[in-house]
């Protein structure tokens, strides 16, 4: 049914009646009658009842208003759309576009100006200028961006050429002038220079992030947007070429920090969707070349390789991480501030400026920066020991790099590939690297009695014993034996599985949470999209399809229930024990702050919904559409 109504009048009446807490949303917390009548232009009375349907009406009216319509024809099918179908459609039709950025004349403002410009702990920023940093060797980009900056009059953009060698000292020196790092440029069909696009996580995260981009790409590919997934792979090539590594994100304070390595997985996921021709193969060759370069120069050398030849996360840099909110380090700094006799804020400022240096805080910084490189910032799994660990997650991912590189060389390049440094690569040497890593992981990290892969502390030469969802990474990369997989399912899974899916850790491993020992966001009771996806696919690799299906349903139910009850909210993470997006941990929960309609959801959460649906049969999808709790389906 198509009906007509006056947009502004209907919107005003709806909000007046139903948005009783005035938060510009219609949720289960509003106290309105939850029943609204529309008198259409045709004189028909249409009753809309229930939080979910009323919030859909609100969203449709706002979209109509933004299109400039005064009177609009609304399809009642969009209002009464089943929740699975609506979320699926909104992600495809709105969210991906809402999350897409370009750093060029048309998109530079959106890329530079974001909420973190005023949120960061850098309370003594030197100015309100917006900085764009360009690599030393990319002279064409430097010329282009200087022209763009000169043409934009209402914000002051300062384009800075980076030094040829980027050191921690240099990165520290520009902490008070933080900015965005340029990414790849290309010419379109008519010869105009454009930024190669990328997808951001959402909310305050307005940059291209490392491992986020891989998971986002899984959702993009499902939605037929392989162009965007490919573009992000191309931007990672640019980062490795010009910044030396895939960055945590393309901002200046991330120049000394990478992220979990997923480039081979991204390259293969994209290549699978490309036409099988010479152009696609040339693209794969370039990606392979830079995967090899990243493997050799980032993860297998310098501070990231340990004596046992396994790898570790190690985020270099000087001082406290400057990108955090002002109060983030308060529990750390409080006793030192009290001892010094100054306020925490003043002590924090002095520490950022290196006017004060404490050996105990410096030791904390070493591990804290490594935690941030791991992507699991933060967790008691890694707290104060991260730089001393060979982690299960990193070394599993590097095992997959070795296997992927070997198989690409063997299957696509006749077992003969000349890499960036002129060396001739063959599959045998890479398979050998993988077997050596696999052997060390099994010896040092596998615990048969506990049924977990544990991180290995190479300083103490012992397993940490912290029960984490990362124990299942070996299933995703197909490193585990059938017997290990069975043991993980029997012993580890029950400690991590809850009503809403997989928690980041077991409750016991987290320990006591109080004012002195605050909740860490990557630990119990919180669940995260990347863990869910990797565990679903890992279980499927070993034939545990029914268990994977159960976990998928639990996770999608939590996404769906919160979206239905809270005006389409799709956030960064969930409390999987209480099945809520109301997460009380550091940083809050990105993706929950919006007016009237969610424009973006959250990148990897959108992807997890898309990936999850591919695991469910039609019967389970129908039950999900009816928002039937998992406990009523699975015994």
260 near 266, Cβ under 8 Å? Answer: no
Place of tokens 């020196």: 173
The confidence score (pLDDT) of residue 117 equals: 53
Q: What is the DSSP letter of 632?
A: G
Q: Please give the full DSSP string across 114-181, using - where no structure is assigned.
A: -THHHHBS-TT-S-S-EEEEE-TT-HHHHHHHHHHHHH--SS-EEEEEPPSS--HHHHHHTTTS-EEE
Q: Please give the full DSSP string across 250-315, using - where no structure is assigned.
A: SBGGGTT------HHHHHHHHHTTS-SSHHHHHHHHHHHHHHHHHIIIIITSGGGB-TTS-B----
pLDDT tens sequence across 193-242: 999 999 999 988 999 999 999 999 999 999 999 999 999 999 999 999 99
pLDDT tens sequence across 82-133: 999 999 999 999 999 999 999 999 999 999 986 555 444 444 444 579 999 9
The confidence score (pLDDT) of residue 121 equals: 46
Other CB atoms within a 10 A radius of the CB of residue 339 amount to 10
Distance of CA 108 to the CA centre of its chain: 22
Q: With 0-12 CB in 10 A as exposed, 13-18 as middle and 19+ as buried, what is 266? A: buried
Per domain, the residue ranges of the chain are 2-81, 330-388, 499-632
Residue 377 falls in the annotated catalytic set: yes
Residues counted in the chain: 635
The confidence score (pLDDT) of residue 126 equals: 47
Other CB atoms within a 10 A radius of the CB of residue 237 amount to 22
Rounded Cα gap, residues 317 and 253, in angstroms: 9
From the list 377, 404, 455, 600, the catalytic residue is 377
> What's the average pLDDT block by block, 10 residues per block, for the chain (635 residues)?
88 97 97 92 87 97 90 89 97 97 96 64 59 98 97 93 97 95 96 97 94 98 98 98 98 97 98 97 98 98 97 96 87 94 95 94 96 96 98 98 98 96 96 98 98 98 98 98 98 98 98 90 98 98 98 98 97 97 84 91 98 97 97 91
Count Cα neighbours of 349 within 13 Å in the Cβ-side half-sphere: 8
Q: How far is CA 53 from CA 27, 66, 76, 496, 563, in A?
A: 10, 20, 10, 34, 11
Rounded Cα gap, residues 133 and 178, in angstroms: 9
205 near 249, Cβ under 8 Å? Answer: yes
The confidence score (pLDDT) of residue 127 equals: 55
DSSP-derived pairing of the beta strands 45-49 and 35-39: antiparallel
From the list 455, 572, 575, 600, the catalytic residue is 572
pTM exceeds 0.75: yes
Residue of 525, 486, 262, 273 whose CA lies nearest to 374:
262
Tokens of 544: 């545990």
Residue of 92, 18, 22 whose CA lies nearest to 56:
18
Helices (H), 471-630: 473-476, 482-487, 493-496, 507-510, 529-541, 545-565, 603-613, 618-625
Residue 129 falls in the annotated catalytic set: no
Other CB atoms within a 10 A radius of the CB of residue 93 amount to 10
């Amino acid at each position: 049914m198509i009906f007509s109504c006056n947009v502004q009048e209907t919107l005003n009446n709806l909000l007046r009646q139903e948005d009783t807490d005035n938060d510009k949303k219609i949720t289960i917390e509003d106290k309105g009658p939850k029943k609204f009548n529309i008198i259409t232009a045709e004189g028909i009375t249409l009753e809309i009842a229930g939080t979910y349907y009323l919030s859909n009406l609100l969203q449709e009216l706002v979209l109509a208003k933004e299109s400039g319509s005064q009177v609009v024809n609304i399809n009642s099918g969009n209002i009464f759309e089943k929740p699975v179908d609506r979320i699926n459609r909104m992600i495809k039709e709105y969210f991906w576009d809402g999350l897409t950025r370009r750093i060029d004349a048309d998109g530079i403002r959106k890329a530079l100006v974001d909420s973190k410009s005023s949120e960061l702990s850098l309370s003594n920023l030197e100015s309100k200028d917006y900085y764009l940093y360009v690599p030393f060797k990319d002279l064409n980009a430097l010329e282009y961006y200087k022209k763009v900056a000169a043409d934009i009059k209402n914000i002051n953009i300062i384009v800075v050429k980076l030094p040829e060698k980027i050191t921690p000292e240099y990165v520290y020196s520009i902490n008070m002038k933080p900015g965005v790092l340029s990414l790849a440029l290309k010419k379109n069909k008519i010869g105009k220079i454009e930024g190669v696009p990328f997808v951001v996580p959402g909310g305050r995260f307005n940059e291209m992030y490392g491992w986020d981009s891989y998971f986002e790409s899984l959702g993009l590919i499902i939605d037929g947007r392989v162009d965007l997934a490919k573009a992000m792979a191309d931007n990672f090539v640019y980062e490795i070429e010009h910044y030396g590594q895939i960055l945590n994100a393309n901002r200046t304070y991330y120049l000394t920090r990478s992220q979990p390595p997923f480039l081979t997985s991204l390259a293969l996921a994209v290549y699978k969707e490309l036409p099988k021709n010479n152009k696609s193969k040339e693209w794969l060759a370039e990606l392979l070349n830079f995967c090899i370069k990243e493997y050799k120069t980032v993860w297998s050398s310098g501070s990231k390789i340990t004596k046992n030849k396994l790898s570790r996360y190690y985020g270099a840099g000087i001082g406290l991480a400057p990108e955090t909110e002002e109060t983030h380090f308060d529990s750390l700094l409080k006793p030192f501030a009290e001892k010094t006799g100054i306020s925490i804020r003043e002590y924090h400022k002095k520490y950022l400026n290196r006017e004060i240096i404490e050996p105990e805080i410096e030791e904390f910084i070493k591990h804290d920066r490594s935690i941030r490189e791991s992507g699991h910032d933060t967790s008691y799994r890694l707290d104060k020991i991260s730089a001393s660990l060979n982690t299960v997650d990193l070394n599993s991912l590097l095992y997959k790099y070795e296997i992927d590189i070997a198989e690409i060389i063997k299957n696509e390049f006749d077992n003969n590939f000349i890499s960036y440094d002129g060396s001739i690569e063959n599959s045998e040497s890479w398979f050998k690297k993988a077997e050596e890593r696999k052997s060390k992981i099994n010896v040092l990290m596998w615990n048969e009695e506990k049924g977990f892969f544990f991180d290995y502390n190479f300083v103490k030469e012992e397993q940490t014993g912290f029960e984490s969802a990362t124990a299942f990474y070996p299933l995703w990369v197909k490193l585990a034996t059938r017997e290990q997989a069975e043991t993980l399912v029997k012993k580890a899974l029950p400690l991590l599985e809850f009503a809403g899916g997989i928690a980041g850790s077991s409750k016991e491993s987290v320990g006591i949470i109080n004012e002195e020992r605050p909740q860490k966001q990557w630990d119990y009771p919180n669940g995260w999209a990347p863990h869910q996806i990797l565990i679903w696919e890992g279980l499927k690799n070993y034939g545990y399809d029914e268990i994977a299906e159960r976990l998928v349903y639990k996770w999608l139910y939590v996404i769906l229930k919160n979206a239905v009850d809270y005006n389409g909210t799709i956030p960064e993470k969930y409390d999987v024990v209480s099945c809520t997006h109301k997460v009380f941990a550091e940083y809050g929960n990105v993706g929950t702050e919006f007016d009237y309609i969610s424009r973006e959801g959250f990148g990897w959460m959108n992807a997890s919904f898309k990936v999850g649906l591919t695991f469910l049969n039609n019967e389970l999808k129908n039950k999900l559409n009816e928002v039937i709790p998992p406990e009523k389906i699975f015994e």
